[in-house]
Structure 1
Amino acid sequence: MTAIDIVPVTGPALLDRFIRLPERLHKDDPHYIAPLHLERKEALTAKNPFFGHADVQFWLARKDGRDVGRISAQIDHHALELRPDGTGQFGLIAAEDDPAVIKALLDVAADWLRARDMTRMQGPLNLNINEEIGLLVDGFGTPPMLLMGHDKPYLGPRLEEQGLRKEKDVYAYLYDITKDLPAGARRLIDRPLPKGVTVRRMDFKRYDDEIKAVTSIFNDAWRDNWGFVPLTEVETDYLAKSLKPLLNPRLVRFVEQDGEAVGFIVCLPNLNEAIRDLNGKLLPLGWAKLLWRLKVAGLKTARVPLMGIRKAASQGMIGSLLPFLLIDAVRTDAAAMGFQHIELSWILENNMPMRRINESLGGVAYKTYRIYEKAL
């Protein structure tokens, strides 16, 4: 039996191999889209503020002189402050369909976590609950949207062979915004706005203040959610600067009650559509193609990665109306801009109020991502 070597990622050259490995694994998959190498190098190094409150390690698996798999292990100390339950995470897992390789990768991640007093392993999280989460287990026949994963169909069963079990599923919902809303939703949205309620676009002249409002609302809205870890101001600032080139005030909306922002929605053009054939590279001609597609040709797909309503504002008849107003405002402007489909993700499987809202607006759960767990 050929030996499998597990190599810690310790420098730029190994990190580059770590980032590029999925491209070879998915070379025959027409739906895989390689993320931009530049973006991945920033997300997987100390430039990402997650590293300021986490311990992180990456590994490559090698067999017969080739890179055949990869994995990360991480401990999010902010999560442990909220829930001191001894849970560490694994993530970024990708491998050839070889049970021995997958076992070796999971074993090294588990050993690393165990050595740091973790008693449970959870994942994949790439790298935390506020970034990419879950392994794709349904919906392989379409490309992933911006900041969403795309995995090989065999990987889920291979994880289960190694004793990992489902902890939670999350869904991605897809809207065809070229179609009108279902009649019931249209009647609800077409009613006059309640007194004191307004929906407005993001004010780029007050960019920093608007981002602070997003952070505050997000942390309040989701604080009781499964797996919640609050966004810090440093993380929000990093996210805001990273995504600013994609933000359009027509696609970022706030809902206010009596002049106070109580809810928001952020919709981003689907960058993956624009980089689909760049193989992760911006040089020599990738920049020109990317700018042309974003600024001239336009994109047809978009994704809502962030949305929230303050808990105090989410109660009662008016509170139940606010998510509809936000989604429809973005949907209407996105359609006018030439977009055809919007993904709203991710939605917890047991978040029935949000699932009902999505489905009543015509959304279809078209992808399922799974978070696994295992006692150490």
Structure 2
Amino acid sequence: MINRKYEGSGVTDVSANVPQIVIEPVSDKRGRAAFVDLGRAFSERLPHFVPQIRSEQIELVDPDKNPFFSHARVQLFIAKQDGRPVGRISAHIDELALAVPAQQGFGPGTGFFGYFDAENEAVARALLTAAEGWLAGEGMTRVLGPVSLSVWEEPGLLVKGQDHAPMVMMGHHPAHYAAWIEAAGYARAKTLYTYDLDISKPFPPLVQRIVQSGEKNARINVRRVRKQDWDSEVAIILGILNDAWSDNWGFVPFTPAEVAYAGKKLRPLIFEELNMIAEVDGRPVAFMLTWPDMNAPLAKIRGKLFPFGWITMLRWLRFPKGAGMRVPLMGVLKELHNSRLASQLAFMMIEAIRHESNTKFGSVRGEIGWILEDNQGMVAIADTIQSKINREYVIYERSLG
């Protein structure tokens, strides 16, 4: 049996039979780089993993560059055994998440862990204990995870779907992590799904009739996002998103700084034909975003822009022929929720994007998600267009009392 103690410098596992596990807090630029590189090393062991661009991964954990840190407290930890890094984890507190009503999943006393990687179950337990100890020391009474770092970035642990590569901005984790987290006393708080669909052919006749009816309605206009007005278009989209998702489980509003940051980061992935805003009587009321799957070229260059990877990426970004397409976000203003108009607008946007993806870019596969397991409206839309669940993520919870 392993004994544990939490000290100011971290958690130490003491055993007569195994090397000591020491959990070290990360506190500087060099440590953050080591934290990212350790995660990359773990990812390289996984079938179907896609290496990401290292500098962008480091930026996400840099408090001077990621605006998430303006409303969050974050502590990164690295586990070492005989001086060798064997795991990592983050512990963080989002002030905006603390302010949302508890019935929406977060709320007062809720902290998070994320960026979870471990060489074995003993290391996993020591890392979770360290994160829990830090959160408890900051006054938290409950922990959710993995969430890395924001719920808008990579929420949840992949528990089904390791047999194929993830699309852009989707996590990819070994199946055995789930057992280690559950053995540490965690239970499922929420399950998130992604849906795979064939976009090489029209949607079922029911969907076509709904779309055709909407196209005859003079009040409705489904238009492309205008990239030349990108800043104002982003403001429209994020305004709808913050309203549409405001009652959803796990919702945390975007700040103006995060809106600007996300807009700048995502702009290269935006093709006007693949992103739609729906207007009713001239007023924007809904949107749907679609990103070509940048993971495909990243896999070819092994996540390395230099010396020649940047050429591959530039060519792909000019015209991502045959790319898989991911719909990461859509929203309809809350005042239209549970109305026939809301679902009609959704079908009109997704059909417009399906058509453009297939006829212009030659794409045959799409993915929608993630979608909350109990989001009945989106699940119904996914079922109606005959998409199938292909990946399942879980956010776990545990009381710190």
Same fold per TM (> 0.5)? yes
1:168–1:370 Cα contact (<8 Å) kept: yes
Once the two structures are superposed, the pairs formed by residues 107-186 of structure 1 within 5 Å of their partners are 107-186=129-208
Measure the CA separation in 1 of the matches of 2:356 and 2:302. Answer: 31
Matched, 1:9 2:26: yes
2:35–2:88 Cα contact (<8 Å) kept: yes
1:269–1:299 Cα contact (<8 Å) kept: no
Matched, 1:75 2:93: yes
Matched, 1:348 2:372: yes
Measure the CA separation in 2 of the matches of 1:258 and 1:5. Answer: 62
Q: Which moved more, 1:17-26 or 1:155-164?
A: 17-26
Once the two structures are superposed, the pairs formed by residues 216-365 of structure 1 within 5 Å of their partners are 216-295=239-318, 298-336=321-359, 337-365=361-389
Aligned with 1:49 (options 48, 64, 67): 67
Measure the CA separation in 2 of the matches of 1:87 and 1:283. Answer: 41
Q: Deviations over 1:50-97 (max 9, x none)?
A: 00000001111111332111100100001112234200000010111x
Q: Which moved more, 1:108-117 or 1:6-15?
A: 6-15
Measure the CA separation in 2 of the matches of 1:271 and 1:22. Answer: 20
Aligned with 1:59 (options 73, 77, 91): 77
Secondary structure of the 2:248 match is coil
Q: Structure 1 residue 209: deviation in Å?
A: 1.3
Q: Which moved more, 1:329-338 or 1:72-81?
A: 329-338
Percent identity among equivalent residues?
Answer: 38
Q: Which moved more, 1:308-317 or 1:20-29?
A: 20-29
1:71–1:94 Cα contact (<8 Å) kept: yes
Q: Deviations over 1:238-284 (max 9, x none)?
A: 00001111111111110000000000011111111110133332111
Which residue matches 1:366?
390
Stretches of structure 1 lacking an aligned partner (at least 5 in a row):
none
Write the letter of the residue equivalent to 1:18. F
Aligned with 2:46 (options 5, 11, 29): 29
Measure the CA separation in 2 of the matches of 1:87 and 1:108. Answer: 16
Q: Which moved more, 1:338-347 or 1:165-174?
A: 338-347
2:44–2:51 Cα contact (<8 Å) kept: no
Secondary structure of the 1:166 match is strand
2:223–2:276 Cα contact (<8 Å) kept: yes
Write the letter of the residue equivalent to 2:392. T
Q: Which moved more, 1:288-297 or 1:30-39?
A: 288-297
Q: Structure 1 residue 365: deviation in Å?
A: 1.0
Q: Structure 1 residue 289: deviation in Å?
A: 2.0
Aligned with 1:20 (options 37, 57, 77): 37
Q: TM-score, normalised by structure 2?
A: 0.90
1:194–1:318 Cα contact (<8 Å) kept: no
Q: Structure 1 residue 130: deviation in Å?
A: 1.6
Secondary structure of the 1:277 match is helix
Q: Structure 1 residue 236: deviation in Å?
A: 1.0
Q: Which moved more, 1:336-345 or 1:213-222?
A: 336-345
Measure the CA separation in 2 of the matches of 1:37 and 1:27. Answer: 13
Once the two structures are superposed, the pairs formed by residues 192-231 of structure 1 within 5 Å of their partners are 192-231=215-254
Q: Structure 1 residue 4: deviation in Å?
A: 0.8
Secondary structure of the 1:276 match is helix
Measure the CA separation in 2 of the matches of 1:18 and 1:238. Answer: 23
1:140–1:150 Cα contact (<8 Å) kept: yes
2:225–2:277 Cα contact (<8 Å) kept: yes
Structure 1 segments, 4+ long, off by >4 Å, are none
Q: Which moved more, 1:99-108 or 1:319-328?
A: 319-328
Q: TM-score, normalised by structure 1?
A: 0.96
2:99–2:108 Cα contact (<8 Å) kept: no
Which residue matches 1:105?
127
Q: Deviations over 1:32-51 (max 9, x none)?
A: 11211111111111211100
Given the superposition, is the C-alpha separation of residues 165 and 357 from structure 1 closer, same or farther in structure 2, using an over 3 Å criterion?
A: same
1:293–1:299 Cα contact (<8 Å) kept: no
Q: Structure 1 residue 342: deviation in Å?
A: 1.6
Aligned with 2:57 (options 40, 44, 51): 40
Measure the CA separation in 2 of the matches of 1:166 and 1:30. Answer: 25
Stretches of structure 2 lacking an aligned partner (at least 5 in a row):
1-17, 102-106
Write the letter of the residue equivalent to 1:67. P
Q: Structure 1 residue 319: deviation in Å?
A: 2.5
Measure the CA separation in 2 of the matches of 1:212 and 1:37. Answer: 29
Q: Structure 1 residue 229: deviation in Å?
A: 0.7
Q: CA RMSD in A?
A: 1.5
Q: Which moved more, 1:183-192 or 1:347-356?
A: 183-192
Q: Structure 1 residue 296: deviation in Å?
A: 5.3
Write the letter of the residue equivalent to 2:387. G
Q: Deviations over 1:91-139 (max 9, x none)?
A: 010111x111001100000000000000000011111212110000001
Report which structure shows greater RCO (CA 8 Å, sep ≥6): 1
